[in-house]
Amino acid sequence: MAVVKPTRTSSIAALTGAESSRGTEKDASSPSGGGSRWLHVLLDETLERQQKLWNPPRRWYRGSEAGDTCVRSLTLSVMGHSVPVSSQTKRIFRTGNAVEDANMQTMREAGIVIEAARKDKQHEIRYTDPPIVGHIDVLARKPTEDNKRLLGEIKSINSFGFKSLPSEHDDPRVNVKNLMAKKPGYICQWSIYSGAPNLDLPEGFMLFEEKNVQSQLIYMLERDDDLLVEILERMREGTKYILADPMLVAPIPKDRNPRGADEQCRKCSRKYLCVRLPDEGTTYDEVRRVDAEVRS
Ligand code: SF4
């Protein structure tokens, strides 16, 4: 199993342009050293070491990948390519999971949760064209009106992000439009879940909780079918690559330029690999070989 080695963070940071969470303090990693730095380093490296560089390849998209607007990046993701994150980011994710669990518990106590067949599992969504599998956060039932079924997503967010969110609006279509401007990835993910043929839940909500003071914003949402078609079309563009035998990475999209001043490419954590692969795409084995030259 490929794992992130304890010293891997700095090289990943160099590749992606990110900074190590503890920088050069890792030099003081000896348990015999003074102060608490050895414990910081030990805990950080434990979190970093747990992350794989590659996951098993899939032949389907995850619902959470719906917000990725680059088909080449999507195909790398489906191949199993993974970029480790810093220990600090891992702790942020851990807190996010705890926020989700706490809100799920409250919704259960409020009696609005429709449980999946297995109570410890989330409801699954499935598409065949393009092939997508995902798991929604919560399927709820509105206790008023007509017991309407609602698709809910729970997101934790830092104070800076929370303050930049739009106001809640009574019209769910306005909420979709406003959130699409601020958090397009989340709305794309919710839209894919919402349109899944096996559930078809055109209405729902997105709950944001501010991580340090637990303020909440809850947006009622109604699916925008035009947006859903747009997302599905984009994912269909990548289907021929993820179903090919051997599996292929897609070419660099015409509207992307990873070697120029392309803002999306600049922020892309796969850029270090993307620029080392042939522009026209290549096979899974070749992607693994090129990546191993850089990250092994
Ligand atoms: S660097 Fe740009 S073209 Fe390459 S995968 Fe990332 S977003 Fe796509």
pLDDT in tens, 179-238: 999 999 999 999 999 999 998 899 999 999 998 899 999 999 999 999 999 999 999 999
Cis peptide, bond prior to residue 246, ω within 30 of zero = yes
Least confident range from 8-22, 84-98, 116-130, 134-148: namely: 8-22
Q: What is the pLDDT of residue 24?
A: 44
The percentage of residues in the chain with a pLDDT greater than 90, rounded to a whole number, is 77
For 67-116, how does the pLDDT look when each residue is reduced to its tens digit (9 = 90+)?
A: 999 999 999 999 999 998 999 999 999 999 999 999 999 999 999 999 88
pLDDT at 247 exceeding the cut of 60: yes
Strand partners, 156: 209
- 2 confidence band (pLDDT: 50, 70, 90): very low
Q: Report residues whose beta carbon is within 6 angstroms of any ligand 1 atom.
A: 70, 72-73, 252, 256, 258, 264-265, 268, 270-271, 274
pTM comes to: 0.86
| Of 72, 257, 277, 282, best ligand 1 pocket probe by most atoms within 8 Å of the beta carbon | 72
Measure 73 CA to ligand 1 centroid, in angstroms: 6
Asked if 273 contacts 81 with a C-beta cutoff of 8 angstroms, the reply is: yes
| Of 81, 271, 275, best ligand 1 pocket probe by most atoms within 8 Å of the beta carbon | 271
pLDDT at 14 exceeding the cut of 80: no
Residue with tokens 């078809």: 200
Give the tokens for residue 59.
């032949």
Nearest CA to ligand 1 atom 5: 73
The span from the CA of 146 to the CA of 211, in Å, is 33
Direct distance between the N- and C-terminal alpha carbons of the chain, in angstroms, rounded to an integer:
12
Nearest CA to ligand 1 atom 2: 265
pLDDT at 152 exceeding the cut of 90: yes
Q: What is the pLDDT of residue 190?
A: 98
The minimum-distance atom of ligand 1 relative to the CA of 271 is 1
- Average pLDDT, stretch 16-30? 48
Measure 102 CA to ligand 1 centroid, in angstroms: 36
Asked if 248 contacts 88 with a C-beta cutoff of 8 angstroms, the reply is: no
The percentage of residues in the chain with a pLDDT greater than 70, rounded to a whole number, is 88
Residue with tokens 């035009």: 226
Q: What is the pLDDT of residue 245?
A: 96
- 271 confidence band (pLDDT: 50, 70, 90): very high
Q: Which residue has the higher pLDDT, 3 or 246?
A: 246
- Average pLDDT, stretch 37-46? 91
The minimum-distance atom of ligand 1 relative to the CA of 265 is 2
For 162-182, how does the pLDDT look when each residue is reduced to its tens digit (9 = 90+)?
A: 999 999 999 999 999 999 999
The span from the CA of 72 to the CA of 292, in Å, is 19
Q: What is the pLDDT of residue 33?
A: 60
